[in-house]
Amino acid sequence: MVIADRLAGFVNDVYSNVDHLSSGYVVLAVLFFSFQIYCDFSGYSDIAIGAARTMGIRLMTNFDRPYSAGNIRAFWARWHISLTSWFRDYVYIPLGGNRLGKQRKYFNVVLVFLLSGLWHGAGWNFVVWGALHALLMVIWMSYSGRQEKKASGGSIGRGFAVVGTFLLVSLGWVFFRCPDIGQALHIISHLIGHSGNPGFERNITKTTVALGMVFISFLLLVERWTTPGMDKLQGRFWPDVGFCAVVPGSILLFGVFGSQPFIYFQF
């Protein structure tokens, strides 16, 4: 939540003043929003999971390092798992899933993603967001064998796949973030080759940008190195003490105190 709320201020400033800012700021805001919505919603989910566990109820994991995915199918296997599994079990499979031939499978995929877009909001921007992911999924399914062969070629190919998937997902988040298609296309048109107003750009808080980059780097390191071994650390004295000291301290030092609601409250 600390990371999400820190990134939100910069993202809101850039999206509200895109005409006055150069492409570098716009690109950074688009990438920051990808981590803002992830930290916001995964944090929201973790609070629900933790609160339920105090009452003896175990809820399913809702996020599993989605930005480490090397293709769009892997991304959706890791992102908002509860909703994805619901659409799979109650829409995709009843429609026939992949049992009725390739063309029907593609149709089912497209329909599921369009419905997923409409589930988030009755707006064309959400339809476009769903359609974009449907297109990416169909393309991946058409060439999955070739992609898997490339992905098994080494860590360099895997790294390019992860970065490419993240950039495509980030581009889709522009339609999710903007209230309509027109503004989303306006943001996208400023991603390359747009010059800003130097006087206005000086008002952008560089500290927020630097903190955002530090927080994102820290998040990626934590997810990369500690997630598989977290169960081994739980219940040990010094890791527990360190955790209980670092988290409240981080909130007090870096938290944004005010009325910054969860993004997913609107859904």
Give catalytic residues, as residue numbers: 120
CA atoms of 252 and 44, how far apart (whole Å) = 19
On whether the CB atoms of residues 63 and 44 are closer than 8 A, the answer is no
On whether the CB atoms of residues 33 and 213 are closer than 8 A, the answer is no
